[in-house]
Amino acid sequence: MLVRSLSRFVGLFVIGTTLAWGAPALKGPATADIGARIVVGFTGNTDPRNFITLVTKGAPEGHYDAYEYATAEGKVELRVPATPGDYEIRLLGSNSPYPTLTRQPLKVSAVAATLDAPARAAAGSEIEIKWTGPNNERDYVAIGNAERPYIVYEYTHRSNPVTLRIPDADGEYELRYILGNGDKVIGSRKLTVGKVSGSVSAPAQVNAGASFSVKWQGPNNPQDFITVVPVGSPDRYYRQYEYTAAGNPVQLRAPDAGGEYEVRYLTGQTYATVASAKITVGAVTASLQGPAEAVAGSLFNVTWKGPNNQSDYITIVPKGAKEGTSGNYEYPSRGNPAKVLAPLQAGDYELWYATGQSHTTLAKANIRITPAKQEPGKLVVTAANAVAAGGGIEIILDASGSMLQKIGGQRRIDIAKQTLTKLTSSTIPAGTPFAFRVFGREVDSCQTDLDIPVSPLDAAAVGARLKTLEAKNNARTPIGASLAKVSSDLASIKGERLVVLLTDGEETCGGDPAAAIAALTKAGTTVRVNIVGFAIEDPKLAVTFSHWASLGNGSYFDAKDAAGLSNALTQSMRASFEVVTPQGQVVATGVTGGDPVSVMPGNYSVRIKGQNSRAQSVIIEPKATATVKL
């Protein structure tokens, strides 16, 4: 019985015939530098809720600072305080008043750091800083001033030297080496920041929506940009822009609305105005003329007069439709007269000339669509895979502040995370080359990050990344900048590239998503850009997304709730197709594996958008369903 009872206890030993507890003991270093991590071993502990702490010598009994539980591992790791002096490592009991079971002294020594960098630098520029110091976990080199301990910083473990951006405002600053534990400065040197200046030169007057050149002079620091805003706009405000790094002069697009504006040179760091110039934007008009009647499903000519700015379009919509509505459309830039496809549904309609930026209607004309002699048929198109062999997929997720709004009690960002987790674990085949980009996680920032570089899809890794993802209030929406990164994100993909953008809002960083998509499609590799709009309430924004997707050989999918988002993302994995007449006119579009599309009887070819080599012929019969597999 005695042996069996003894086996139930840990730390008991026999001295003669007397039972006794093994005395707890600590084994740690006698000295350490401030901010360092130390490993403390221990023996004889009988309660895993007991804990080890580091306190100043002479601290009252029961006092503790940061601590670790003395669990079965036999050792803990503690961070040394940032103040030198005499300390004690203590093992404390788990119950109040937390008695000291054993202790060991520790002497903490000061440590200095040095910084080697220029004494002067221009505002907004980048400098290299060589450093010496302890390089503890989360130690960092920073630029600060009297009001702020750090304005910009970089962790020492990243590199030596580190590279920092100088603040935009001129004045006196300090370079500082700061301990990650306690944020204590252990090395510094003065830094004088010089003021920057610049100028912008633009035409005195341009037409609404037109492109124009801006010559500039300035520091051309990373992310500096030129923008055009209404006169009197507050500081740091911007709309469509172009980076100074793009060249000199840069090309800007005038707003659609006439009025008085300013062209501004803004710094990329704080959006401070370096220079500005006034510009008058003249209002534009348009007119159009089409037939009084057209047969359902037929092509008809529309003659027009108008600015013919980039992305302007002529569309046919039901009579009395709300501003921003769009139906079948054609771009004026493709010719005059424009060839417009009549809807399949007979009735009273209107032809609109709309601007490409704000979808403002400049002109209208009435038209009646009469029934066709034959009823339309149906076409079902299927395809084997989301991307062909050798291709890859990139998903771009909007995590800006609007994604914190709720639908049915759930935040949009949580619905998106759950849906993407399901998509990557059950819809996209494992091992598919996959990349994941996120924007909107920094307050008042246009930052966009490649969270998962292209690699064979690992659903568990994607799920873990999504689980930690959070949206941020007041974060911006850099759609154009994110799309512009796709080419480098997927540089290793030699085959087809499928890009899926999931967003619930408009571009707010002044980017040009249409230009970014156009650049992708012209890069020589087959690319499809599908856009999923989540809880989009503005019809003009939905039209914008639809035009962008069409430009990228893709489709736009609208999702109002969790079920709609799941369906939209599933469809976004499928290829978009076009139905084309022998004369080359597109008469219908759809998604492979999706719902049938209605097409007037006739001979056509069906092709994946942007892939003429995969076209197949099909005959559409009245009220019959044809099937094509691509």
Widest Cα–Cα separation across the chain: 115
Q: CATH homologous superfamily of domain 392-574?
A: von Willebrand factor, type A domain (3.40.50.410)
pLDDT digits (tens, 9 = 90+) for 526-578: 899 999 999 999 999 999 999 999 999 999 999 999 999 999 999 999 989 99
The answer to whether residue 46 scores a pLDDT higher than 90 is no
Q: HSE of 230 in the Cβ direction (CA atoms, 13 Å)?
A: 7
DSSP tally for the chain: helices H, then strands E: 8, 49
Confidence of residue 16 (pLDDT cuts 50, 70, 90): very low
d(CA 607, CA 611): 7
> Average of pLDDT values for 444-472?
92
CATH class assigned to 199-282: mainly beta
Cβ count within 10 A of residue 220: 17
Domain boundaries, the chain: 2-109, 114-194, 199-282, 287-370, 377-382+577-629, 392-574
Cα separation values, 506 from 260, 472, 479, 513, Å: 24, 16, 8, 10
Identify whether the C-beta of residue 360 lies closer than 8 Å to the C-beta of residue 256. Answer: yes
d(CA 144, CA 295): 71
Identify whether the C-beta of residue 473 lies closer than 8 Å to the C-beta of residue 404. Answer: yes
d(CA 359, CA 593): 31
> Average of pLDDT values for 191-214?
95
The 10 Å CB-count burial string (b at 16+, else e) for 223-245 is bbbbbbbeeebeeeebbbbbbbe
Topology classification of domain 2-109: Immunoglobulin-like (2.60.40)
361-370 β-sheet, strand order: 293-295, 361-370, 347-354, 313-318, 329-330
Cα separation values, 630 from 529, 571, 604, 614, Å: 19, 16, 14, 7
Strand pairing report for 273-282 and 205-207:
parallel
The answer to whether residue 524 scores a pLDDT higher than 70 is no
Strand pairing report for 625-629 and 377-382:
parallel
Tell me: cis bond preceding 48? Omega within 30 of 0 counts: no
The answer to whether residue 15 scores a pLDDT higher than 50 is no
Q: Which residue has the higher pLDDT, 9 or 323?
A: 323
> Average of pLDDT values for 149-169?
93
Q: Which of 215, 7, 198, 182 is nearest to 84 (CA)?
A: 182
The answer to whether residue 181 scores a pLDDT higher than 60 is yes
> Average of pLDDT values for 298-308?
96
What lies within 8 Å, CB to CB, of 544 at 6+ separation is: 359, 506
Confidence of residue 19 (pLDDT cuts 50, 70, 90): very low
d(CA 245, CA 253): 17
The answer to whether residue 612 scores a pLDDT higher than 80 is no
| Predicted pLDDT at 258 | 94
d(CA 366, CA 362): 14
Q: Which two tokens stand for residue 317?
A: 């919509």
| Predicted pLDDT at 610 | 77
pTM of the full structure: 0.73
Cα separation values, 347 from 243, 367, 376, Å: 48, 9, 16
| Predicted pLDDT at 492 | 93
Bridge partners of residue 29, in order along the sequence: none
The 10 Å CB-count burial string (b at 16+, else e) for 48-74 is eebbbbbbeeebeeeeeeebbebeeee
The answer to whether residue 17 scores a pLDDT higher than 60 is no
| Predicted pLDDT at 20 | 38
What is the second-level CATH architecture of the domain 287-370?
Answer: Sandwich (2.60)
pLDDT digits (tens, 9 = 90+) for 392-408: 999 999 999 899 999 99
Q: Which two tokens stand for residue 513?
A: 């998503």
CATH number of 114-194: 2.60.40.1930
Q: Which of 290, 393, 304 is nearest to 342 (CA)?
A: 290
Strand pairing report for 527-534 and 497-503:
parallel
> Average of pLDDT values for 605-626?
89
The answer to whether residue 364 scores a pLDDT higher than 50 is yes
Percentage of the residues of the chain whose pLDDT score is greater than 70: 95
Judge if 2-109 and 114-194 fold alike in CATH terms: yes
